[in-house]
């Protein structure tokens, strides 16, 4: 049984966390497999959007396998660079990722979802970062990504208390984009992915890069980066095709070039 299933539907790649008997947690082997698959997706020109979900109807992911990770962390107190880094960190993955949260999304599971660009939740999903309740703090990107996703004070409350919130509350505070009945979750995620695929793929990737890079610099620097990337986009064949299709009132045929 694959720890992470990887399937392709047209331009869409689907990553499915597949340890239902272990609440879809990632052990070291699964973490490495996930990283390898993300790189494969990143480098495949035929794939434009990714969807991350979990097996089953109750759990998206409860994070990492503590039995696997804790001994490794204790062995490397002075060698942090030897540990797995935050999900998608340093990967330059500019293709959009959608998290389809089919159930409980806590700890490292929420950190994986936060590393995605769009989150769609089943009505039964719940979200939380309970690490402080067991004597640790989030270490997979949540302390950086959560306050960049929701208001800082709400992020502080979730991080400091370890409380779990409902899908409806997650939608109210802007943590997720949409809440749907569980049977409709993957249909909605694929619909979102297909909508993104209607746009020029290089333009979408540049938009994501600008979104992420622009958040970490001042306004003037962000505008300079935008100008540089816009200059690049204006020179692509897809841009030429987009303008031609608009003038000719037809659907564009994107090539990703």
The Cα–Cα gap between 24 and 59 comes to 7
Q: What's the domain range around 237?
A: 201-248
pLDDT at 137: 87
Task: Please indicate, yes or no, whether residues 116 and 231 belong to a single structural domain of this protein.
Answer: no
Task: Please indicate, yes or no, whether residues 41 and 9 belong to a single structural domain of this protein.
Answer: yes
111, 209, 221, 226: the catalytic one is 111
- Please name the helix (run of DSSP H) or strand (run of DSSP E) that holds residue 119, with its range, or none: strand 118-122
Structural tokens at position 104? 């409980």
Residues β-bridged to residue 7: 14
Total domains in the fold of the chain: 2
pLDDT at 81: 45
Task: Please indicate, yes or no, whether residues 73 and 183 belong to a single structural domain of this protein.
Answer: yes
Final residue in a domain of this structure, among 197, 216, 237 = 197
CATH number of the domain where residue 227 is located: 1.10.12.10
CB atoms within 10 A of CB 67: 10
Task: Please indicate, yes or no, whether residues 227 and 152 belong to a single structural domain of this protein.
Answer: no
Task: Please indicate, yes or no, whether residues 86 and 104 belong to a single structural domain of this protein.
Answer: yes
Task: Please indicate, yes or no, whether residues 111 and 124 belong to a single structural domain of this protein.
Answer: yes
Distance of CA 139 to the CA centre of its chain: 16
Task: Say if 256 falls within a structural domain.
Answer: no
Task: Please indicate, yes or no, whether residues 160 and 51 belong to a single structural domain of this protein.
Answer: yes
Task: Please indicate, yes or no, whether residues 77 and 157 belong to a single structural domain of this protein.
Answer: yes
Would you call 111 a catalytic residue per the annotation? yes
The Cα–Cα gap between 94 and 206 comes to 7
The Cα–Cα gap between 123 and 118 comes to 16
Task: Please indicate, yes or no, whether residues 122 and 230 belong to a single structural domain of this protein.
Answer: no
Q: Which residues of 212-250 are buried (b: 16+ CB within 10 A; e: fewer)?
A: eeeeeeeeeebeeebeebeeebeebebbebbeeeeeeee
pLDDT at 128: 97
pLDDT at 133: 92
The Cα–Cα gap between 210 and 224 comes to 10
**In terms of DSSP H, where are the helices of 20-125?**
28-43, 66-75, 108-114
Task: Say if 158 falls within a structural domain.
Answer: yes
Task: Say if 178 falls within a structural domain.
Answer: yes
Task: Say if 257 falls within a structural domain.
Answer: no
Task: Say if 243 falls within a structural domain.
Answer: yes
CATH number of the domain where residue 65 is located: 3.90.226.10
The Cα–Cα gap between 113 and 17 comes to 12
Task: Please indicate, yes or no, whether residues 91 and 187 belong to a single structural domain of this protein.
Answer: yes
pLDDT < 50: residue spans in the chain: 81-82
9, 29, 123, 131: the catalytic one is 131
Task: Please indicate, yes or no, whether residues 178 and 205 belong to a single structural domain of this protein.
Answer: no
């Amino acid at each position: 049984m694959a720890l992470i299933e990887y399937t392709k539907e047209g331009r869409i790649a689907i990553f499915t966390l597949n340890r239902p008997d272990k609440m879809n947690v990632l052990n070291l082997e699964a973490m490495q497999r996930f990283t390898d698959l993300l790189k494969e997706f990143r480098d495949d020109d035929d794939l434009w959007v990714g969807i991350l979900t979990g097996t089953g109807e109750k759990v998206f992911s409860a994070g990492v396998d503590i039995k696997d990770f804790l001994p490794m962390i204790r062995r490397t107190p002075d060698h942090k660079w030897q540990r797995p880094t935050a999900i998608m960190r340093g990967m330059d993955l500019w293709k959009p990722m959608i998290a389809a949260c089919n159930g409980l999304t806590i700890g490292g599971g929420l950190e994986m979802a936060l590393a995605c660009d769009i989150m769609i939740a089943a009505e039964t999903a719940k979200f939380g970062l309970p690490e402080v309740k067991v004597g640790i703090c989030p270490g997979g990107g949540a302390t950086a990504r959560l306050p960049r996703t929701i208001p800082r004070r709400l992020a502080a409350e979730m991080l400091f208390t370890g409380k779990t919130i409902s899908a409806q509350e997650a939608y109210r505070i802007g943590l997720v984009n949409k809440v749907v009945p569980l049977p409709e979750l993957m249909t909605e995620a694929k619909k979102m992915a297909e909508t993104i695929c209607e746009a020029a793929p290089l333009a979408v990737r540049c938009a994501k890069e600008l979104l992420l890079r622009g958040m970490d610099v001042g306004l003037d620097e962000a505008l300079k980066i935008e100008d540089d990337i816009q200059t690049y986009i204006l020179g692509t064949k897809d841009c030429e095709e987009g303008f031609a299709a608009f003038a000719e009132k037809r659907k564009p045929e994107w090539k990703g070039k």
